Chains A and B, each alone.
Chain A
Amino acid sequence: MGMTIGEKILANAASKDKVVPGEIVTVDLDLIMSNDGTTHLTIDMFENKIKKKEIFDSRKVVFVVDHNIPAENEKTAMVHKKMREFANKHSIDFHEGRGVCHQVMVEDYVRSGQLILGADSHTCTYGALGAFGTGVGGTDFLYAMVTGTTWLMVPETIKINLTGKLPKGVSARDLMLKIIGDIGANGANYKILEFGGEGIKNFNISDRLVLCNLAVEAGAKTGIIEADEITLEYLKSKGRSPKNVFHSDDDAKYKKVYEYDLNQIEPVIARPDHIDDVVSIKEVDKVKIDEAFIGSCNSGRIEDLRVAAEVLKGKKVSEKVRCIITPASNNVYLQALEEGLLNIFMESGAMIMNPNCSVCWGSCQGVIGEGEILISTGTRNFKGRAGHKDSKVYLASVANVAASAVAGYITEYKED
């Protein structure tokens, strides 16, 4: 019996010819990443609990400060200082204010075929480049940093088979929210979500990152897409090459296969407080909003900002709405500057933030108050995710978030 891409990466990392779902393997890691959401506690554990204080290979470790940057208070400043000093002492790559960790990793580090742990749930994003990325907690990260290894249970794989092409005005984010709505917030719990089929050829790297990034919102251990010429072209443009290019075997075993005809996908929205409460955006038409957010590791890339600029060009954000736009990295920011997109945003009345997790993280900037409503391109709409426990978050595509910011209420983008 054959193996899926994910199984092949795990077999390779375990130095085995074959692995089967359910098997527990010890694997060598190619990269490990941690950010300011948890690293201070990990460093404390390293200093106070580990007997043999050694880092296996500091070249494989990356620290990114992206959640609360720049620091909003003294306590956060001390968290960042602790990370900075530790990284410096142990020669760990340290990025501060360069963007959301996953965007930085995709731009600078990730290669197809790698196995990567990140102390952040959206580490599953790296599957867009044909890598196996998975989120862990601080203790797992610490163990990995000290040993260069971790243990994993080989997951079963669910295949999402895509055919056709998305209609104009419908995005990869609409597709992914639709999938999560269909299979549920734990529909892929412990599983690999593999996206394939001829439809995937119509998705650029940014679209693929959108799909894999949200895999964890269906509970998946990772999302993954076979590396193809689009992937290799992207890596080449960044001066990198793949570690391995794996394909799923024809006789690979899938727990389940879901078929999606991209031509049938329509603009959707996830209603508060559950990401799998997904309906056609037409069903929530005219819900008044207080804030609109465009950014995050899901939808803060240049492709997203171009869409936002198309919608906002020559328009004004509603006086009743704060519209916050946060490029996902400095590279994205500079590109948007060069293309004149930032002028369009500023003229529309939107606020542009420095690259960071921003509103999606809910405790850095753009926090919403009691009873307020946010429409967002972020990753989550849990109760209180963006601020007060009695505030609400809707998740939608970039075009529809931008259109709603102009209207002052939730609406579907229609070209003039």
Chain B
Amino acid sequence: MEQSRVWKFNNDIDTDQIIASQYLLLSSIEEMKKYTFESIHKDFSSNVIEGDVIVAGENFGCGSSREQAPRVLKELGIKAVVAKSFARIFYRNSINIGLPVVICEDLYDNISENDLIEIDFTNGIIKKDNKEFKSTKLPEHMQIILNSGGLIEYLNRKAE
């Protein structure tokens, strides 16, 4: 299974920190993405590579409903966000745009930035070296949306 590099963030990372208000009205996600995490991790957008993952503490994505937050992460190539817990709107938005969000209580305290992990989405298992951490599986309805590639793809498929 493919290994992913970890970017680590702490508790209560809000959507203003993921992408600040002054960039939300730019005309596209492509234009916005270079400002991701600007206030707390200036080098993030220039150093992130396709397939990296974010590991965070409690309440990741709290605050505003801006869908730009999960969208810039996806646009930058983030493969999944693993957190102890998520704020509800961010969680929902991520599934809707096809960005996997994984709840895992134990990984955060056993991981450092730049560590490599493997995520087995199907079985809900995250591996680091030889250690395994159990993650929560999505309810079936949300899994169907995510598997479709997001809510719009799900809608289009239903319309066919």
Contacts and interface: CB of A to CB of B under 8 A. Distances in A.
Chain A contact-residue range equals 35 or more
A219 B96 contact: no
Interface residues of B, number: 44
Given A52-B159, A79-B25, A143-B151, A137 B59 contact: no
A68 B24 CA distance: 11
Contacts of A75: 25-27
A139 B139 contact: no
B22 A151 contact: no
Given A137-B92, A189-B88, A363 B12 contact: no
A37 B66 contact: yes
B132 to A, nearest CB: 27
B160 A362 contact: no
A221 B96 contact: no
A116 B16 CA distance: 24
Nearest to B91: A190
Interface string B64-108: 111110110000000000000101110011001100000000000
Interface stretch (A86-94, A297-305, A383-391): A383-391
Interface in A338-378: 361-363
A50 B155 contact: yes
Name the residue in A41, A79, A120 with the highest tally of chain B Cβ atoms < 10 Å from its Cβ. Answer: A41
Given A24-B139, A139-B96, A185-B12, A40 B63 contact: no
A120 B14 CA distance: 15
B27 A185 contact: no
B21 A363 contact: yes
Interface string A70-110: 00000110110000000000000000000000000000000
Contact of A49 (B66, B96, B139, B152): B152
B65 A185 contact: no
Contact of B96 (A51, A140, A383): A140
Nearest to B32: A41
Given A45-B152, A139-B150, A186-B62, A384 B16 contact: yes
Interface in B89-129: 89, 92-93, 96-97
Given A41-B68, A140-B92, A363-B22, A382 B152 contact: no
Contact of B155 (A120, A147, A153, A380): A147
B87 A219 contact: yes
A122 to B, nearest CB: 9
Given A51-B160, A389-B39, A137 B16 contact: no
Interface in A125-142: 135-140, 142
Contact of A137 (B22, B39, B93): B93
B131 interface: no
A123 B64 CA distance: 11
Contacts of B17: 382-384
B65 A362 contact: no
Given A24-B141, A75-B27, A186-B59, A140 B68 contact: no
Contact of A382 (B16, B28, B58, B155): B16
Contacts of B85: 186, 189
A380 B63 contact: yes
Nearest to B150: A139
Contacts of B22: 362-363
Contacts of A37: 24-25, 64, 66
Interface in B24-42: 24-29, 38-40
Contacts of A142: 152
B156 interface: yes
Name the residue in A67, A119, A186, A216 with the highest tally of chain B Cβ atoms < 10 Å from its Cβ. Answer: A186
B156 A51 contact: yes
27 contacts: A45-B152, A67-B25, A75-B26, A76-B25, A79-B25, A119-B65, A121-B65, A121-B89, A123-B65, A136-B65, A137-B67, A137-B89, A137-B97, A139-B93, A139-B150, A139-B152, A140-B93, A142-B152, A219-B88, A274-B12, A380-B14, A380-B16, A383-B14, A383-B17, A384-B39, A389-B38, A389-B39
